[in-house]
Amino acid sequence: MLQLAVLRNNTELVRERLAVKNFAEISLVDDIISLDDERKKLTFQFDETKAKINATSKEIGMLMGKGQKEEAETKKKDVENLKNNLSPIQQQLDSVEKQLNDLLVRLPNLPSEKVPLGKTPADNEMVRTGGSKPELPPQAVPHWDLAKKLDLIDFELGNKITGSGFPVYKNKGAKLQRALIQYFLDYNTAAGYMEYMPPHMVNAASAYGTGQLPDKEGQMYHATEDDFYLIPTAEVPVTNIYRDEILKEADLPIKMTAYTPCFRREAGSYGKDVRGLNRLHQFDKVEIVQLAHPSKSYEALEEMVEHVEKLIQSLGLPYRILRLCGGDMSFTSALTYDFEVYSAAQDKWLEVSSVSNFEAFQANRMKIRFKDEKGKPQLVHSLNGSSLALPRILACLLENNQTENGILLPPSLQPYFGGEMI
């Protein structure tokens, strides 16, 4: 959530940056300022009335001490009238504060000045590429055919048990999935990320804290009886570990990693782009999260991008890194880099990671702060990235490494899988 002080002190800049994100309701800025003016006015009235009540109450005590009971009784009536006036002011104030908060949560995060202009993925900026596209044998096929031929994944069985978008990994497919998860976690912990195993459901406060609510409510699976949400990413529970905490400046940055299944409704997804592992309702992902000092968060972002890049390089996959334009960014992000790997059998690029700096947007919702050298609480900056999402990585590993004899696994993965070839 944007800080109200930022919006008031830099109103024109806020309007300008929201326009970069192609935000359609920039008039909300004026509505928020108007409501904040009303809030200030009501707060002044409330405080002034409260001060009069306190001052008059003291007078009553003095008058009673002097035996001036008649004057004291008159003052008591004055206090009663003031208290009667106080209640409607409080009700108005509560109503205005709710309206103000309801409007504030509708504003997305402001994009960094590094964010390129644009409205669609076609406007994203290429940062760099790496790796080489493989030469496949003549009989090469897409991963869904490979998975069936080698008995690795059963899409029809998942459809029977649950529905489309819920594949069943089996035999060496399940083993490869487990090997990838362990490799990614070991890679992250070796870089100083503390591993967590968080819940796979969160309460509404946690989903609100990272910005899934109210923006992405329709994309999450909701257990209505208990008002819990199945997590769309480990970012949600992991970042909320420090909700409502005041950290020590010396402890920053805090680096965390976690493996979780992820659940997304993906409403409206259809066609060839959802075939096989391309888009699922349940998938596995290893996440990295950092809570950083505001002055160092963009250094942390570049470090995380390099970390993910080296992980993809270790898998031998051709990749490209994109800086997302304003129109293709998430609601909560200030700057995002997307990683895509090349799927040889499908002849297309598939997104496998997003690495983002949210600056203070999430921290303001979660009240994650640290005390600076003067002892003043300041909001941290939060960052997160996929390291990595498994389905499309698995799809590209299968497709790009297929040979006449089977799937030749990259050397980095062989010790985890316990073999060179599927």
Q: How far apart are CA 321 and CA 319, in angstroms?
A: 7
Question: Is 131 in the same domain as 100?
Answer: no
* pLDDT per residue as tens digits for the range 396-420: 999 999 998 999 999 999 999 999 9
At 381, the pLDDT band (50, 70, 90 cuts) reads: very high
The first and second tokens of residue 350, run together, are 């598939």
- With b for 16 or more beta-carbon neighbours within 10 A and e for fewer, the 36-63 pattern comes to bebbeebeebbeebeeebeeeeeebeeb
Q: Would 161 be classed as within a structural domain?
A: yes
Binding site for L-serine, residues?
A: 233, 264, 287, 384
Question: Is 80 in the same domain as 213?
Answer: no
Q: Would 193 be classed as within a structural domain?
A: yes
- Provide the total of helices (H) and of strands (E) in the chain, helices listed first: 13, 18
Angle between helices 297-314 and 171-190 (to 10 degrees): 140
Q: How far apart are the first and last CA of the chain?
A: 48
- With b for 16 or more beta-carbon neighbours within 10 A and e for fewer, the 119-153 pattern comes to eeeeebeeeeeebeebeeeeebbbbbebbeebebb
Ramachandran class of 352: left when φ > 0, alpha when ψ lies in -120 to 50, beta otherwise: alpha
Q: At residue 83, does pLDDT exceed 80?
A: yes
Q: Which residue type sits at 46?
A: F
* pLDDT per residue as tens digits for the range 103-117: 999 999 999 999 999
The number of angstroms, rounded, from the C-alpha of 145 to the middle of its chain's C-alpha atoms is 34
State the CB neighbour count (10 A cutoff) for residue 218: 10
Question: Is 171 in the same domain as 308?
Answer: yes
Contact 315, 393 (CB under 8 A): yes
Question: Is 172 in the same domain as 32?
Answer: no
27: containing domain? 4-104
Q: Which residue type sits at 381?
A: H
Question: Is 201 in the same domain as 333?
Answer: yes
CATH of the domain at 89: 1.10.287.40
Question: What residues contact residue 240 under an 8 Å CB cut-off, 6+ apart?
Answer: 202, 205, 206, 209, 210, 366
Q: How high is the pLDDT of residue 270?
A: 56
Could you tell me which residue, 273 or 393, shows the higher pLDDT? Answer: 393
Q: At residue 255, does pLDDT exceed 60?
A: yes
Q: How high is the pLDDT of residue 206?
A: 98
Q: At residue 378, does pLDDT exceed 90?
A: yes
Q: Would 110 be classed as within a structural domain?
A: no
Mean pLDDT across the stretch 47-60?
Answer: 91
Q: How far apart are CA 165 and CA 280, in angstroms?
A: 4
Q: How high is the pLDDT of residue 228?
A: 97
Which residue, 233, 194, 202, 412, is CA-closest to 311?
A: 412
Mean pLDDT across the stretch 74-90?
Answer: 91
Dihedral (CA of 170, 175, 176, 181) sign: positive
The values of phi and psi at residue 190, to 5°, are -65, -25
Q: Would 116 be classed as within a structural domain?
A: no
Binding site for ATP, residues?
A: 264-266, 351-354
Question: Is 143 in the same domain as 49?
Answer: no
Q: Would 114 be classed as within a structural domain?
A: no
Mean pLDDT of the chain, nearest integer: 95
Q: At residue 66, does pLDDT exceed 90?
A: no
Q: How high is the pLDDT of residue 3?
A: 95
Question: Is 258 in the same domain as 406?
Answer: yes
Binding site, residues?
A: 233, 264-266, 287, 351-354, 384
The first and second tokens of residue 277, run together, are 């592992």
* pLDDT per residue as tens digits for the range 16-38: 999 999 999 999 999 999 999 99
CATH of the domain at 375: 3.30.930.10
State the CB neighbour count (10 A cutoff) for residue 91: 11
Rounded alpha-carbon distances, angstroms, from residue 121 to 134, 322, 362, 386: 25, 10, 24, 19
Domain boundary among 38, 72, 104: 104
How many domains are contained in the chain? 2
Question: Is 23 in the same domain as 75?
Answer: yes
